[in-house]
């Protein structure tokens, strides 16, 4: 079999990242949705912290007609084409990238991408309304999972497959840190409101776990009531859980070791690993959790850069 | 005439089973099958790209569920005619780039070659493998009222549409499963294997397991879907010009994540002027500098060979029957449409006197652009066409207006006859292969003769039928 074209490697990597981004965004919004329903009714849970998924400095304008920011933020994350991280935008980018790699992917896989794109285009705006929202989000996750299943069960373990895996894993690690960043923003908001609502802490952390589909696995691994510190440690370091940052880094290491000449990237991966191990934030304080996540994200960005330099840009 | 229904209104024998089925299931069920087919096309991502309003739009491929059917024995005759035509055309191209016997013998006028925009003098003296230049062609056929098939055009440069032949079949098989069960319909899937075999045969000497690549101008090209499809089906790499580089050893390499890797055969879907900025258009961004050097040195196979377009010109077309007689000593098995060459005074006078009854075609446009249909044009359009002919007589030909045959088609108004043409694909190397059938294109608006998908045309599956399975009545 021929070696993988550098251009194709780039498109596969980005295509997979965008799909994972769409899936993870859907998971996070879904979990927040559930949190809203569970929340004590005298409290108004605001949606703005969720906008931080698109980056911690994101701000959205919420009109007075939308007091909780719900419609504004959900539209921003699901259906806003001007937001490059929204589900419509990331799915469109995924399709644009993977449309140029059809010849190396199983046909069924391309059809799943295509199906996702048609579905999202037709449905995203309507899904801003609560009534249709959950069904939409579930469907996005399902099609993305089906795509992974197709690749897992029908694609040769080639470098093409490995670039898709790398894209998925890197984005997944990044999104887990973003979810923790959102939690930090939420804690910050509570602190500012200085209401010290410790009673709802547990509900909030439960929601964080749900955002990365980790609640059940967390409970099997960690005994006792849910507390912030062990949630953060679980999502960062519990390597047996595949959506934890550590789990993603381990898998990235495994994939890299099978790609040609990965040494330079492995060195950067070691740095990322050190940055992750060094972060053990005090989760009671929003500022500190936020800062720790920023640092971890920065390390992941450097890893992404190294992957691209090695497998795309540096090629003759 | 209609391909499926005789003048008497009765189904033609070859279409009997199909029309009986349509009759039995009724229009509602047919429409529901059409909708399912369209959904299949959408989810399978069968698309073509149109350029409009400054944007490239990836559109679902237009498909009409009612197929065109042709009897197997008639098709065998057409297929022989196509192989004959392409054999002769290839000998002609090879001759033009080498001894030019055809000119010396007075069969083909020298000034015509001198004026050709598709002749590449820098390729003089090259003799590619098998003597073949146009390996892949997509010949357009039409059937006139007299019931005969005519060659309308030889597309020898980068003809497209074959991927839709194969995809249309996939959709049609699901839409009319019961007919495929009962009738012997020739499969079309073999094309990509034949193409693979052909490309492999063009590998440089001594290369046992050649690396094939399909060279595309990129995602914005209208036929990008097809480029990707062919690469996928052949296990070839799909490359853009920027993915390739010619080394100091005059070999072609592609840039992979493991470094440079040799490419042995390129199926290029880029027009030859853009192939190599060193040899042709210096500012081409699509091509590969040095590709011609590598090809001339025998280090890479190219299909179609650059320069093959010299025989794909609506003026040269008029000489093809003579070309067949000259090189093969045979009579053409498929006729040309009678063609008036306005470069000759007497033929030009005839054309100008009868311009309202003729189709006027520019020599080097494709996709139906620039064509003036005499009986549908305004006085003003005819005057402009006449002036253009007088200004540049070498660049025009004229033909009688054929009445293209029709096939029943599912349109908003119901099931109605619509005009069609047919593009079979011919592979030529040390042997010939003709797709069973080809791409049937249909003009969807009533009475329209414009079948191009870029201008509102649709497509149909084409069935070559060899009778029924078993011994029951048809």
The partner residues of B361 in beta bridges, in order of sequence, read B397
E strands, B31-148, are 47-52, 55-60, 64-71, 136-143
User: Which residues does chain B have with pLDDT short of 50?
Assistant: 473-474
Alpha carbons B138 and B308: distance in angstroms, whole number: 13
Characterize B354-386 residue by residue with b for buried, 16 or more Cβ atoms within 10 angstroms of its Cβ, and e for exposed: ebeebbbbbbeeeeeebbbebeebeeeebeebb
| Residues from chain B contacting residue A260 (CB–CB below 8 Å) | 257-258
10 Å CB burial of residue B269 (0-12, 13-18, 19+) is buried
The distance of B246 to chain A (nearest Cα, Å) reads 12
Find the angle CA(A7)-CA(A9)-CA(A13) to the nearest 5 degrees.
120
For A197-209, write each residue's pLDDT tens digit: 555 677 788 888 9
- Would you call B207 an interface residue with chain A, using a CB distance cutoff of 8 Å? no
> Residue B293's pLDDT is what?
95
- pLDDT bin (cut points 50, 70, 90) of residue A305 is very high
Q: Among A26-40, A79-93, B231-245, whose mean pLDDT is lowest?
A: A26-40
A263 at B interface, C-beta within 8 A = no
> Do A3 and B245 lie within an 8 Å CB cutoff?
no
Do residues B432 and B197 lie in contact, with contact meaning Cβ atoms separated by under 8 Å?
A: no
Tell me the mean pLDDT in the region A215-240: 89
All residues at 6 or more sequence positions from B450 whose CB lies less than 8 Å from its CB, including other chains: B368, B443, B456, B457
Does residue A307 sit at the B interface (CB-CB below 8 Å)? no
Helices (H) and strands (E) in chain B, counts: 12, 24
Domain assignments of chain B as residue spans, ordered by start = 13-334+402-467, 338-400
Strand runs labelled E in A4-86:
none
Q: Are B182 and B469 in contact (CB under 8 A)?
A: yes
Distance between terminal CA atoms of chain B? 23
Which residues in chain A are closer than 8 Å to B236, comparing Cβ atoms? 103
Q: Report the Cα B345 to chain-centroid distance in Å.
A: 32
pLDDT > 90: what percent of chain A?
61
Of A51-55, A263-267, B34-38, B58-62, which gets the smallest average pLDDT?
A51-55
Q: Does A219 touch chain B (CB under 8 A)?
A: no
Q: Which residues of A touch B42 (CB under 8 A)?
A: 114, 118
Q: List chain A residues with CB under 8 Å of B245.
A: 316
Domains in chain A: boundaries = 6-313
CA dihedral (A127, A132, A138, A144) positive or negative: negative
Q: Give me the residue from B44, B231, B237 closest to A111, CB to CB.
A: B44
Does domain B338-400 fall into CATH 3.30.1490.270? yes
- pLDDT at position B114: 87
d(CA B429, CA B427): 7
Cα(B216)–Cα(B228) distance, integer angstroms: 9
pLDDT at residue number A131: 87
Element (H, E) at A85: none
How much is the pLDDT for B203? Answer: 96
Q: Which of B38, B42, B45 to mutate to test the interface with A (most CBs of A within 10 A)?
A: B45
Q: Tally A–B CB contacts below 8 A.
A: 78
Q: Distances in Å between the alpha carbon of B338 and those of B318, B401, B463?
A: 8, 10, 28
Structure tokens at B239: 């490359």
CA distance A279 to A288: 10
Put simply, the answer to whether A111 touches B45 (Cβ < 8 Å) is: yes
In this predicted structure, the answer to whether residue A194 has a pLDDT above a threshold of 60 is: no
Please state the ipTM of this predicted complex: 0.79
Compute the mean pLDDT over every residue in chain A, rounded to the nearest whole number: 88
Provide the chain A residues 133-172 that lie in CB contact (below 8 A) with chain B.
Answer: 159
B6 touches chain A (CB under 8 A): no
Would you call A4 an interface residue with chain B, using a CB distance cutoff of 8 Å? yes
Question: pLDDT digits over A94-153, tens only?
Answer: 999 999 899 999 999 999 999 999 999 999 999 999 889 999 999 999 999 999 999 999
Mean pLDDT value of segment A73-80: 96
pTM of the model: 0.87
């Amino acid at each position: 079999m021929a070696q993988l074209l550098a251009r194709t490697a780039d498109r596969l990597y980005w295509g997979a990242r965008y799909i994972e981004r769409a899936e993870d965004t859907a998971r996070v919004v879904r979990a927040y949705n559930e949190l809203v329903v569970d929340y004590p009714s005298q409290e108004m849970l605001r949606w703005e912290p969720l906008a931080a998924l698109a980056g911690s400095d994101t701000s959205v304008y919420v009109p007075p007609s939308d007091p909780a920011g719900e419609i504004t933020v959900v539209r921003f994350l699901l259906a806003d084409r001007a937001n490059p991280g929204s589900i419509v935008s990331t799915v469109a980018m995924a399709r644009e990238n993977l449309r140029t790699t059809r010849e190396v992917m199983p046909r069924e896989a391309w059809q799943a991408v295509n199906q996702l794109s048609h579905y999202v285009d037709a449905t995203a705006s309507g899904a801003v309304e609560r009534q249709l929202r959950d069904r939409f989000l579930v469907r996005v996750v399902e099609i993305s999972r089906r795509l992974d299943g197709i690749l897992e069960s029908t694609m040769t373990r080639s470098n093409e497959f490995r670039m898709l895996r790398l894209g998925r894993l890197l984005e997944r690690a990044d999104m887990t840190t973003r979810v923790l960043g959102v939690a930090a923003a939420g804690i910050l908001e509570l602190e500012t409101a200085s209401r010290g609502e410790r009673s709802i802490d547990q509900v909030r952390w439960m929601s964080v776990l749900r955002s990365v589909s980790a609640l059940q696995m967390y409970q099997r691994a960690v005994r006792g009531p849910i507390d912030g510190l062990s949630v953060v440690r679980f999502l960062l370091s519990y390597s047996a859980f595949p959506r934890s940052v550590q789990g993603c880094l381990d898998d990235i290491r495994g994939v890299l070791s099978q790609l040609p000449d990965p040494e330079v990237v492995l060195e950067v991966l070691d740095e990322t690993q050190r940055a992750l191990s060094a972060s053990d934030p005090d989760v009671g304080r929003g500022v500190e959790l936020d800062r720790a996540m920023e640092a971890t994200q920065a390390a992941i960005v450097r890893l992404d850069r190294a992957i691209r330099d090695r497998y795309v840009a540096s090629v003759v | 005439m209609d391909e499926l229904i005789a003048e008497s209104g009765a189904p033609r024998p070859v279409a009997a089973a199909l029309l009986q089925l349509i009759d039995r299931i009724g229009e509602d069920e047919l429409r529901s099958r059409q909708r399912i087919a369209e959904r299949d096309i959408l989810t399978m991502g069968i698309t073509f790209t149109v350029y409009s309003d400054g944007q490239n739009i990836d559109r679902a491929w237009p498909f009409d569920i009612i197929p065109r059917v042709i009897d197997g024995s008639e098709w065998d005759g057409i297929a022989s005619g196509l192989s004959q035509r392409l054999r002769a055309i290839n000998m002609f191209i090879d001759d033009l780039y080498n001894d030019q016997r055809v000119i010396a013998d007075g069969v083909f006028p020298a000034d015509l070659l001198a004026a050709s925009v598709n002749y590449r003098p820098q390729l003089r003296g090259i003799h590619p493998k098998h003597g073949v230049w146009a390996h892949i062609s997509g010949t357009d056929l039409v059937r006139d009222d007299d019931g005969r098939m005519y060659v309308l055009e030889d597309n020898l440069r980068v003809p497209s549409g074959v991927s839709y032949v194969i995809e249309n079949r996939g959709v049609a098989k699901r839409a009319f499963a019961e007919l495929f069960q009962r009738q012997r319909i020739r499969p079309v899937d073999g094309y990509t294997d034949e193409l693979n075999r052909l490309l492999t045969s063009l590998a440089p000497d001594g290369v046992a397991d050649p690396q094939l690549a399909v060279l595309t101008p990129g995602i914005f090209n209208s036929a990008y879907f097809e480029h990707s499809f062919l690469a996928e089906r052949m296990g070839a790499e799909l490359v853009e010009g920027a993915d390739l580089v010619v080394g100091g050893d005059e070999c072609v390499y592609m840039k992979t994540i493991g470094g440079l890797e040799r490419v042995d055969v390129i199926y290029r879907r880029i027009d030859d002027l853009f192939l190599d900025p060193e040899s042709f258009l210096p500012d081409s961004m699509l091509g590969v500098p040095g590709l011609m050097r590598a090809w001339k040195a025998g280090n890479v196979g190219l299909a179609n060979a650059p320069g093959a377009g010299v025989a794909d010109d609506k003026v040269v077309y008029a000489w093809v029957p003579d070309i067949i007689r000259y090189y093969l000593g045979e009579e053409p098995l498929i006729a040309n449409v009678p063609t008036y060459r306005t470069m000759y005074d007497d033929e030009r006078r005839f054309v100008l006197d009868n311009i309202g009854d003729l189709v006027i075609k520019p020599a080097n446009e494709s996709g139906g652009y620039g064509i003036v249909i005499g009986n549908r044009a305004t006085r003003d359009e005819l005057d402009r066409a006449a002036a253009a002919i007088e200004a540049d007589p070498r660049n025009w030909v004229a033909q009688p207006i054929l009445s293209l045959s029709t096939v029943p088609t599912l349109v908003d108004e119901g099931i109605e006859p619509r005009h069609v043409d047919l593009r079979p694909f011919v592979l030529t190397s040390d042997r010939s292969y003709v797709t069973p059938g080809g791409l049937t294109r249909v003009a969807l608006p009533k009475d329209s003769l414009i079948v191009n998908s870029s201008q509102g045309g649709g497509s149909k599956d084409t069935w070559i039928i060899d009778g029924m399975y078993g011994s029951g009545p048809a």
